[in-house]
Structure 1
Amino acid sequence: MKTKSDIENIAISALTLEAEAISKLTKNINEDFINTVHAILDIKGRVIITGIGKSAIIAQKIVATMNSTGTPAIFMHAADAIHGDLGMLQQEDIVIAISKSGNTPEIKVLVPLLKNSNAKIIAMVGNTKSYLAEQADFILDTTVSREACPLNLAPTTSTTAQLAMGDALAICLLECRSFTNDDFAKYHPGGALGKRLYLKVTDLARQNAKPEVKSDTPIKAVLVEITKNRLGAVAVVNDKKISGIITDGDIRRMLESNQDIGKLKAEDIMGNNPKVIQYDELAVHALNMMRNNHITQLLVVRNNQYDGIVHLHDLLNEGII
């Protein structure tokens, strides 16, 4: 049975080996890498990424990253390619073949077929003297000194290097295409990532009630308005302009002061400088304002007029947090 210290040391050793392997990849950002970026930018087709075994899994991840950052890509399993899937290859496509050894039987069968199709081949390979490397137009060198596996067998460091090289390639393509936040949002309309990039304050505020009172509204009516809408606050509005805000905290402090609340009006307990946000701001900006000011709601304004309330719970419900 391994001790706690043994387990910690094994994990640290594995991470150190993989970190060192990634660091050494910086020396492999060479002319072939630059040419690969230019070749992909120039094609009218897609990037076809292929591999076998663990390299195939890495290929699928790189495909996903490219597709989400503006480079059309398709995964083609090397074994399936020689049994019909090669039909997905079209003119103007470019192929990235991923292999640690560069000498697997499937790759050796596939490469001549790719060359017969006049497809440009980029080898992401851990052996620059391999069959795949020798047949490729460009080489992305992902050579590693050893695997993190103590037997030096299970693909660990090598697949980490492939993944990192794929990320470096995707990011270069992203930058070269001047890929923007708006582009990212277009490809990620669902989930928290997309919502952070497109969800607006007004999208949240319009789902809520729009509680408001006037400066001279009696406290009893203020209490009713706050509890009725369950937003923890009510805006004090006069002539459609915000004069202040009353929160649950203001109500508690009023009750603790032992005042004769029967004589109090909204203006007597309201906060005079409420935090406001424009209706067309991104919801994530509302979250940042709440965090920075240690509050749970913001008053929304449109054309300098009160337009509702956005609450921290709205952000939670949308998965922004």
Structure 2
Amino acid sequence: MSTLSAIDIKSVALRTIGLEAEAIASLQTMVNDDFERAVRSIYETKGRVVISGIGKSALIAQKLVATLNSTGTPAIFLHAADAIHGDLGMIQQDDVVMIISKSGESPEIKVLVPLIRNFGNTLIGMVGNMGSFLARQSGIVLNTTVSQEACPNNLAPTSSTTAQLVMGDAIAVSLMELRGFTSEDFARFHPGGTLGKKLYLRVSDLYVNNETPRVSPSATLKEVIVEISRKRLGTTAVTDENNHLLGIITDGDLRRMLEKNIPLDGIIANEIMTLDPKTITADALAVEALDRLRKYDINQLVVVAADSTYLGFIHLHDLIREGLI
């Protein structure tokens, strides 16, 4: 067993990254008319895209299926070995079939390809050997040839699977553009977890759970302190008789006022409130509120309607509780 110094390990890692980067860069010359035909055939099909492979290529196929399904293109995975042992029934008449293979010569592939051709489905071959059986038999060929695997023996699929992965992503993103797939569409397919919340959770879903502290412009200092303490948000809005926002008073404002050693008798809310506080509308995404809190380094935003009617507060803790941070 060879031993590697820290410098040797870094060199191996850098060489691996360099070889795989070269493999990705070379794909730019392989985005050709067949690539466009492949994307359009998937886009225009009335069925699904069925993606198959064997070995490491099967894992890439599964990843591409997951990406397509999450971005608006119906897709299913068909393992090449299982296909020739009964799973061919998964393929329907209008489906487009894609087979991913480095060599294009695997025994399972050689059995599977003629069967698909007999079905009459459009067959896309993503292959790293343009002289292979798969390349010759496919109606559309996506070239993912690499000059060298990152494996020191030039054997283990490394650069080749990276090229397959990136070519698959290029297909998926092209389809997203064709479909006009938006962040709102993405949210419909990703309702769970932090990602989904960033795409669909709105300020209106959160602020309604908080108290709505408010005082009038003429409220006494005692009334302000009581309202801030009772509502437990560390702040209160100052509103007019029509509930329009005039300003806010935070517990920080109160501390700064006390540090000035000014007489406290007779102080009213409009003398100590902060004018033009940072606000957000109820229909804004919660992640927009988070961005604004970070930008201004504050803990809460006032939620207002379009006409500046005061609605409540959204606090940093609300966003932490939802896992957005």
Asked whether 1:306 is paired with 2:310, we answer yes
Question: What CA distance in whole angstroms lies between the structure 2 residues aligned with 1:125 and 1:131?
Answer: 10
Aligned pairs for 1:151-300 within 5 A? 151-239=153-241, 240-261=243-264, 263-300=266-303
Q: Classify 1:269/1:178 alpha carbon distance in 2 versus 1 (closer, same or farther; 3 Å).
A: same
Question: What CA distance in whole angstroms lies between the structure 2 residues aligned with 1:124 and 1:112?
Answer: 16
More displaced 10-residue stretch of structure 1: 163-172 or 150-159 = 150-159
For structure 2, list consecutive stretches of 5 or more residues without a partner in the other structure.
Answer: none
Query: Per-residue CA shift, 1:52-80, capped at 9, x if unaligned?
Result: 11111111110111111111100111111
Aligned residues: 321
Question: What CA distance in whole angstroms lies between the structure 1 residues aligned with 2:229 and 2:64?
Answer: 51
Query: Per-residue CA shift, 1:50-109, capped at 9, x if unaligned?
Result: 111111111111011111111110011111111221111111001110111111111111
Tell me what 2:321 maps to: 317
Question: What CA distance in whole angstroms lies between the structure 1 residues aligned with 2:212 and 2:9?
Answer: 56
Tell me what 1:44 maps to: 46
Question: What CA distance in whole angstroms lies between the structure 2 residues aligned with 1:103 and 1:219?
Answer: 83
Q: Which amino acid aligns with 1:252?
A: R
Aligned pairs for 1:90-129 within 5 A? 90-129=92-131
Q: Cα distance, 1:262 vs. partner?
A: 5.1
1:95 is paired with a residue of what secondary structure? Answer: strand
TM-score, length of structure 2 as denominator length: 0.94
Q: Which amino acid aligns with 1:138?
A: I
Query: Per-residue CA shift, 1:140-199, capped at 9, x if unaligned?
Result: 111111111112222111111000000000111111111122211221222222222222
More displaced 10-residue stretch of structure 1: 254-263 or 146-155 = 254-263
Question: What CA distance in whole angstroms lies between the structure 2 residues aligned with 1:222 and 1:142?
Answer: 69
Tell me what 1:13 maps to: 15
1:76 is paired with a residue of what secondary structure? Answer: strand
When the two chains are superposed, the root-mean-square deviation of aligned CA atoms in Å is 1.6
Q: Percent identity among equivalent residues?
A: 57
Q: Cα distance, 1:260 vs. partner?
A: 4.0
Question: What CA distance in whole angstroms lies between the structure 1 residues aligned with 2:254 and 2:279?
Answer: 20
Question: What CA distance in whole angstroms lies between the structure 2 residues aligned with 1:144 and 1:291?
Answer: 45
Asked whether 1:140 is paired with 2:142, we answer yes
Structure 1 segments of 4+ aligned residues over 4 angstroms from their partners: none
Question: What CA distance in whole angstroms lies between the structure 2 residues aligned with 1:126 and 1:227?
Answer: 69
Q: Cα distance, 1:285 vs. partner?
A: 1.9
2:274 is paired with a residue of what secondary structure? Answer: coil
Q: Classify 1:229/1:151 alpha carbon distance in 2 versus 1 (closer, same or farther; 3 Å).
A: farther
Q: Which amino acid aligns with 1:122?
A: I
Q: Which amino acid aligns with 1:308?
A: G
1:231 is paired with a residue of what secondary structure? Answer: coil
